[in-house]
Structure 1
Amino acid sequence: MRFDDAPDRFKSGNASDRFSGASGVLFEQAMAQTRMAICLCDPHAKDLPIVFANRAFRQLTGYSESEILGRNCRFLQGPNTDPEPVARMRKAIADEDVVVVELLNYRKNGTTFWNALHLGPIYNDKGELVYFFGSQWDVSDVRAARAEEQHAKEMARELSHRMKNMFAVISGIVNVTGRVRGIQGEAAEINSRIQALGRAYETTLDDASSGSIQISEAIRAVLSPYDRDEERLKMVGNGVRTPFTTISIIGLILHELAANATKYGAWASEAGMVTVNWYVDETDNALTITWEERGGPQVDSEAIEAGTGTTIVDRLLSGGRGSITREWRDTGLVVTVKLPRRDEA
Structure 2
Amino acid sequence: MRFDTSPGRFREAHPEDSFSGSSGVLFEQAMAQTRMAICLTDPYQDDNPIIFANRAFRALTGYEEEEIIGRNCRFLQGPDTAREPVRQLRSAIDTEEVTVVEMLNYRKDGSSFWNALHLGPIYDNDGKLVYYFGSQWDVSDVRAARSEERHARMLARELSHRMKNMFSVISGIVNVTGRVRGIEAEAAEINARIQALGRAYETTLDDASSGTIELGQAVRSILSPYDADGHRMDLVGNGGRVSFAAISLVGLILHELAANATKYGAWSADNGRVTVSWLPEDENGQVKLSWLETGGPPVDVSMIGPGTGSAITDRMLRTGGGAIERIWNRNGLHAVVTLPA
Q: Same fold (TM over 0.5)?
A: yes
| Preserved CA contact (<8 Å) 2:274 2:292 | yes
Deviations for 1:175-204, whole angstroms, at most 9, x for unmatched residues? 122222221111111110010000010111
| Preserved CA contact (<8 Å) 1:5 1:54 | no
Matches of 1:44 and 1:247 in 2, distance apart?
65
Look up the match of 2:238: 238
Deviations for 1:64-103, whole angstroms, at most 9, x for unmatched residues? 2121111110111112111111111111111111111111
Residue 257 (structure 2) pairs with residue 257 (structure 1):
yes
1:181 aligned partner, one-letter code? R
Look up the match of 2:323: 323
Q: How does 1:119-134 map to 2 (within 5 A)?
A: 119-134=119-134
Look up the match of 1:30: 30
| Preserved CA contact (<8 Å) 1:119 1:135 | yes
Look up the match of 2:202: 202
Matches of 1:89 and 1:304 in 2, distance apart?
75
SS in 1 for 2:60: helix
| Preserved CA contact (<8 Å) 2:297 2:331 | no
Per the alignment, do residues 161 and 12 of structure 1 end up closer, same or farther by CA in structure 2, a change over 3 Å counting?
Answer: closer
Matches of 1:5 and 1:319 in 2, distance apart?
70
Matches of 1:289 and 1:16 in 2, distance apart?
73
Unaligned runs of 5+ in 2: none
Identify which range, 276-285 or 64-73, moves more after superposition. Answer: 276-285
Look up the match of 1:65: 65
Deviations for 1:130-159, whole angstroms, at most 9, x for unmatched residues? 110100000000011111111111111111
Matches of 1:256 and 1:149 in 2, distance apart?
35
Look up the match of 2:12: 13
Per the alignment, do residues 250 and 91 of structure 1 end up closer, same or farther by CA in structure 2, a change over 3 Å counting?
Answer: same
Q: TM-score, normalised by structure 1?
A: 0.92
Matches of 1:60 and 1:301 in 2, distance apart?
74
| Preserved CA contact (<8 Å) 1:7 1:52 | no
Per the alignment, do residues 162 and 55 of structure 1 end up closer, same or farther by CA in structure 2, a change over 3 Å counting?
Answer: same
Residue 193 (structure 2) pairs with residue 193 (structure 1):
yes
Per the alignment, do residues 210 and 302 of structure 1 end up closer, same or farther by CA in structure 2, a change over 3 Å counting?
Answer: farther
| Preserved CA contact (<8 Å) 1:9 1:51 | no
SS in 2 for 1:248: helix
Matches of 2:209 and 2:135 in 1, distance apart?
34
Percentage of pairs with the same residue:
65
1:14 aligned partner, one-letter code? A
Unaligned runs of 5+ in 1: none
SS in 1 for 2:116: strand
| Preserved CA contact (<8 Å) 1:103 1:114 | yes
SS in 1 for 2:279: strand
Look up the match of 1:92: 92
Look up the match of 1:108: 108
1:140 aligned partner, one-letter code? S
User: Deviation at 1:304?
Assistant: 5.1
